[in-house]
Structure 1
Amino acid sequence: MDRLTSMAVFTKAAELGSFAAVATAMDISPQMVAKHVAYLENRLGTSLLNRTTRRQSLTAVGSSYYERCKIILSETDSAEALVRDMRTEPKGVLRVSAPVTFGSSKLAPFVTRYLEQYPEVQVELVLTDRRVDPLKEGFEVMLRIGDVGDSNLVAAALKPYRIIACAAPAYLKTHGIPTTPAHLTEHECLAYMYGAPSTFSHWQFTRDRKTENIQIKGRLRSNDWPSLLGAAIQGKGITLGPEYLLSDAIKTGSLIQVLPDYEGQTRSMYILYPAGRSLTAKVRSFVNAVITEFGYESVDKS
């Protein structure tokens, strides 16, 4: 039998004074009331109630046990109420993992706006380009670029990265404007490092469904995008990056897009989160807000 249920039946018997009254109050049979009390007494090896034909009263042990049962049942009710509350009202600490460049440039400002809307939520935003383990590292929401791999989490697609190549007017004036991807082999290229060297030593371009992989060269490589952007604006070479990060510099004329007739490698981006009944209100609200801001559709709010 369930011990907490038996405790609840026992405390009700202590308060109402008869099994019949408990049966009516809890909508069970008097025989089931007796079984719950007997289960506890057998488990504890002592009598909890003095029984007469008309009424029950607590033994000395039963009286002490009753007081502790009330505390335990009250704490259990509080714990369950807390869980119900967390499933309906966003609150608590939410750990989020995201790629460094996207996280610092786009997600971090979004998180500050989200926190203004949900004052009872705290966000721990960890930016890393490595593949994290959500179970070992305690992440409830993750944003990933590229293949999500095997996962028991739900993966919702966000708007993909559109990759473009840019350089400063001064650099292009001195070194010339590349008109085909192959011309990049003659230029100083500023490469963003992530993963193995092969991922940043080759740039991919597509035109008319034909894809070209170009092995680039350059003396500056970095895993810090602002450093590469600053170097490109200073005229140190051609860089390849997400359009949303380069658009402001293009608008001001600090950078000029090169190879505009070619599509850079588009990279998929996803938000991953737990499935089904385990989805708390804080996770649901955050995921919905991210998808509204960066994606296509919201998650089920039920």
Structure 2
Amino acid sequence: MDRLDAMRTFVTVVSEGSFTRAAERLALSPQLVSKYVSQLEQHLGVRLLNRTTRRLHLTEAGAAYRQRAEQVLAEIDDMESELGALQTQARGRLHVSAPVSFAIRHLAPLVNDFQRANPAVDIDLQLNDRKVDIVEEGFDIALRIGRLRSSSLIAKRIAPVRLVLCASPEYLATHGTPKHPRGLAGHRFLRYRYMEESQEPLLQWLPRSGGGGDKALSELTSNNGDVLVEAALGGAGIALQPTFLCGSAIQQGKLEVVLAEHEPEPLGLYAVYAHRQLLASKVRHFVDFLEGYFGDPPYWDRF
């Protein structure tokens, strides 16, 4: 016996005043309606209804049970209505993880525009360059940059992420502009700690990190791209960085692209979330809002 079905059947029988009318309202047979009520009485161990050939009479236990059952069923209906609204209207708190530098430079306008369009959504935006565990850490969605490996998560590509070698005009005037990747070995390189040599062939031409060897100039390593772009702007060396960080400086002539013909394959900005089916409306609306927001090509690549 499904207890909720039996409870709803009992309440309908009482409100309609007969098994036959309750059966019509519930689109069930009168026999099944009677069976549900009998099973409910057996489960509770009390008689809920006294039946005569003409009328039904609530027992004292039946009257008390009816009142509580109506409250329970009303709360269930309200809950289902609210959940249904969550699926059709964007509302609730959206937990988002995003890379630090990208978020600081590019996410604030998007979040503001999204919340203007979806005022019932609160956003908890947490910035972290590490790869968060979406499910374990309670995130609805994570923005990730890279070449994503296969996983059980759903990933939607939002925008390409170009990587370019760049340096200040002053640095290149002093140290020369390399014409081939092998020429990078004689330059000071501003290295992003998490960039893998196996993924970026250009890095194979650079002097090894850690000092020693025949490096002509020292190396700067950081786990933050903004620091490296600022160092490049100050004439500290050549950096391999995404254009969402250095594109503005390139547009303004403060940095110059080096070895443009050897530009690495683009990475991607991805929206990553746990489930495709029964996706919460707040997540679906946010992912849809992200798509195309930055333009094609993204505004930071228009130089």
TM range (shorter): 0.7 to 0.9
Q: Any conservation in 2 of the 1:162–1:266 contact (CA below 8 Å)?
A: yes
Displacement of 1:75 in angstroms is: 0.7
Q: Which has the higher strand share?
A: 1
Amino acid at match of 2:22: V
Corresponding position of 1:242: 242
State the 1:108 CA deviation.
Answer: 3.6
What percent identity do the matched residue pairs reach? Answer: 40
Shift of 1:200: 6.4
| Contact in 2 for aligned 1:190/1:239 (Cα 8 Å) | yes
Corresponding residue for residue 82 of structure 1? 82
User: Is the alpha carbon distance of 1:251 and 1:147 closer, same or farther for their aligned partners in structure 2, counting shifts above 3 Å?
Assistant: closer
Shift of 1:24: 2.2
Q: For the structure 1 residues 294 and 224, does the alpha-carbon distance in structure 2 shift closer, same or farther, using more than 3 Å as the test?
A: same
The aligned counterpart of 2:278 is: 278
Q: Deviations over 1:111-152 (max 9, x none)?
A: 222112110011222222322222212222222223433433
State the shift of 1:50 in Å.
1.6
Q: Which amino acid aligns with 1:63?
A: A
Contact 1:194 1:200 in 2 (8 A): no
TM-score for the superposition, normalised by structure 2: 0.86
Structure 1 residue matching 2:201: 3-state secondary structure: strand
Match of residue 269 from structure 2 = 269
Return the alpha-carbon distance in structure 2 between the equivalents of residues 295 and 74 of structure 1.
47
CA distance in 2 between partners of 1:48 and 1:147 (Å): 64
1:204 aligned residue = 201
* Structure 1 residue identity aligned to 2:283: V
The letter for the 2-side match of 1:121 is V
What secondary structure is seen at the aligned counterpart in 2 of 1:236? Answer: coil
Q: Which amino acid aligns with 1:214?
A: W
Deviation string 1:140-193 (CA, Å, 9 cap, x unpaired) is 222222343343333222332111111112222222222221222211111122
**Which stretch shows the higher mean deviation, 103-112 or 53-62?**
103-112
Query: Is residue 249 of structure 2 the alignment partner of residue 252 of structure 1?
Result: no
Sort the Cα spacing of 1:103 and 1:19 in 2 relative to 1 into closer, same or farther, 3 A.
Answer: same
Residues 266 and 94 of structure 1: CA distance in aligned 2, closer, same or farther (over 3 Å): same
One-letter code aligned to 2:7: M
Q: For residue 164 of structure 1, give the secondary structure of its aligned residue in structure 2.
A: strand
1:139 aligns with 2:130: no
CA distance in 1, matches of 2:294, 2:254: 26
Report what 1:229 is aligned to.
229
Give distance in 1, aligned partners of 2:21 and 2:233.
83
Once the two structures are overlaid, the 10-residue window that deviates more, 252-261 or 3-12, is 252-261
After TM superposition, list the pairs within 5 Å mapping 1:142-181 onto structure 2. 142-181=142-181
SS of residue in 2 equivalent to 1:130: coil
Matched, 1:189 2:192: no
Conserved 8 A contact 2:168-2:233: yes
Give CA deviations for 1:229-271 in whole Å, capped at 9, x if unaligned: 2111111111111123212112222112122222134223322
Match of 1:96 in 2: 96
Match of 2:205 among 214, 229, 233: 214
- Asked if 1 retains the 8 angstrom alpha-carbon contact of 2:98 and 2:143, the reply is yes
Aligned-residue CA RMSD in angstroms? 2.3
TM-score (norm 1): 0.87
> Judging changes above 3 Å, is the alpha-carbon distance between structure 1 residues 289 and 44 closer, same or farther for their aligned structure 2 residues?
same
2:225·2:245 contact (CA, 8 Å) conserved in 1? no
Give the AA of the match of 2:63. S
Give the Cα separation in 2 of the matches to 1:32 and 1:163. Answer: 68
